[in-house]
Amino acid sequence: MLRHHERMHPFDEALDLRASALQDAPHEFTGTTHPAYANMVGPFGGTTAAQLLQAALLHPQRLGEPVALTVNFAAPVADGDIRFLARPVRTNRSTQHWIIEAHQHNGVVATATAVFAVRRETWSDAEAVMPANMPAPDALPRMSVKGMPAWPQRYDMRFVEGHFLPLLMSRSNPIPARPCGCATNPSAPWTLPRWRP
């Protein structure tokens, strides 16, 4: 609870949407542009995007947390009041899909689609760590890309260990057997972009 001398952050003020008082309009919220986010033509678009998402976040039927948001600006947003319509169009066991609209006096000014989901405990993965004692790229020979598709020709690949994917190698240039006789084929390459093949 804010004390009388404290003030909300301007972003929180911009997100302070009000639910419609009409019983037959449960999907409707009203808000306004905020002078702190005035831009060259209308408000900063990120603030409008946040207001669109906020309309779904405040909705009593909301399930889970937002995981994706796509916003389309249909017309310039004018300074002043905005009416938001947020509708869940599909609710599954753990995901929910939304369509959200922003309306002003001249009609729809922005639309959004959002996906919400109930987050569950799941596996995680750590960032890869640079292998120790890697030689410099210039100390290794370039892999030949002659006769390969265009995509691998865009890269300068230099292998410390292992080889390029067998599926992209021609039958006339087979991958040599690993000296260790291992069933797996790990690789440790330097890969540098090339602007031209």
**Residue 87: what are its φ and ψ, rounded to 5°?**
-130, 125
Residue 48 is given by DSSP the state H
* Contact yes or no for 19/8 (Cβ under 8 A): no
Is 98 buried (19+), middle (13-18) or exposed (0-12) by CB count in 10 A?
Answer: buried
Q: How many Å apart are CA 48 and CA 80, to the nearest integer?
A: 12
Can you read off the two tokens belonging to residue 148? 């390969």
- Choices 3.40.50.300, 1.10.760.10, 2.40.160.210, 3.40.50.150: CATH for 10-117: 2.40.160.210
Q: How far is CA 168 from the centre of its chain?
A: 31
Q: How far is CA 188 from the centre of its chain?
A: 29
Digit-by-digit pLDDT tens for the chain (197 residues) are: 555 556 788 889 999 999 987 666 778 999 999 988 888 778 889 999 999 999 999 999 999 999 999 999 999 999 999 999 999 999 999 999 999 999 999 999 999 999 999 988 877 777 777 777 888 888 888 888 787 666 566 678 888 776 665 434 444 555 454 444 444 556 677 776 664 44
Q: How many Å apart are CA 160 and CA 169, to the nearest integer?
A: 18
Angle among Cα 51, 46, 36 to the nearest 5 degrees reads: 85
pLDDT reported for residue 179: 44
pLDDT reported for residue 18: 94
E-only strand ranges, 37-122: 65-73, 81-91, 95-104, 107-117
pLDDT reported for residue 156: 83
pLDDT reported for residue 77: 95
Angle among Cα 170, 171, 175 to the nearest 5 degrees reads: 80
* Contact yes or no for 68/114 (Cβ under 8 A): yes
Domain with CATH 2.40.160.210 in the chain: 10-117
Rg of the chain (C-alpha set): 27
